[in-house]
A = this chain, B = another copy of it.
Amino acid sequence: MKIDPQQKKIKAQVRELFTAYLEKNKQRKTPERYAILDEIYSHKEHFDVDSLFVKMKSRNYQVSRATVYNTLDLLVEAELVKKHQFGQNTSHYEQAYGYRQHDHLICNRCKEVLEFCDPRVQQISNTMGSLLKFQIGHHSLHLYGDPLLTEKGECQHCNKNLYP
């Protein structure tokens, strides 16, 4: 894996933000917590708890599942990680820092997750917040659909033949 200087910078910023969060909330700064944060910000992709657990294990770092769950909760609370539920019963997570606001489109065929941006989502959130008298903290917009195939029956995204 290449070392992206931009990613390295983000990692450092995120560590600082996490430290600030931990201090503010009088939580301990354990090496496990930082190791998990670091691992998460080493890959751009979405992930689930188990794949993160396996990644930690396959590196030199030994953590328990319980700690992974605990730390993810903390990171969500600190707004450094976002939690999603895409149709399945497993939760998916993604980085929340250094990345512009976006939503997700999930392919019904291959379950791949694409990202997109639309400012109207924020507008809706604002409108409904004031209309219903809520302070909206976050939202999730998921679109589910089938890819339009080429005349050969190939998916225009994963390039796999998905006919029919």
Q: Which residue of B lies closest to A129 (CB)?
A: B145
**A128 is contacted by which of B85, B118, B128 (Cβ under 8 Å)?**
B118
> In the assembled complex, which residues on chain B have CB atoms less than 8 Å from the CB atom of A136?
105, 143-145
**Residue contact A146 to B124, C-beta cutoff 8 Å:** no
29 A–B contact pairs at CB < 8 A? A85-B87, A89-B89, A89-B91, A105-B128, A105-B134, A107-B134, A114-B132, A116-B132, A118-B127, A118-B128, A121-B124, A121-B141, A125-B143, A129-B143, A133-B147, A133-B156, A134-B143, A134-B146, A134-B148, A135-B146, A135-B147, A136-B143, A136-B144, A136-B145, A137-B144, A137-B146, A139-B143, A140-B141, A141-B142
Query: Quick one: which of A108-164 are within 8 Å of B by CB?
Result: 108, 114, 116, 118, 120-121, 123-125, 127-129, 131-148, 156-157
> In the assembled complex, which residues on chain B have CB atoms less than 8 Å from the CB atom of A134?
105, 107, 143, 145-148
Q: Give the CA-CA distance A125 to B103 in the complex, in Å.
A: 11
Instruction: List the interface of chain A (C-beta within 8 A of B).
Output: 85, 87, 89, 91, 105, 107-108, 114, 116, 118, 120-121, 123-125, 127-129, 131-148, 156-157
- Point out which of A85, A127, A131, A143 has the most chain B C-beta atoms below 10 A from its C-beta: A143
Q: Which residue of B lies closest to A116 (CB)?
A: B128
Q: Give the CA-CA distance A17 to B85 in the complex, in Å.
A: 30
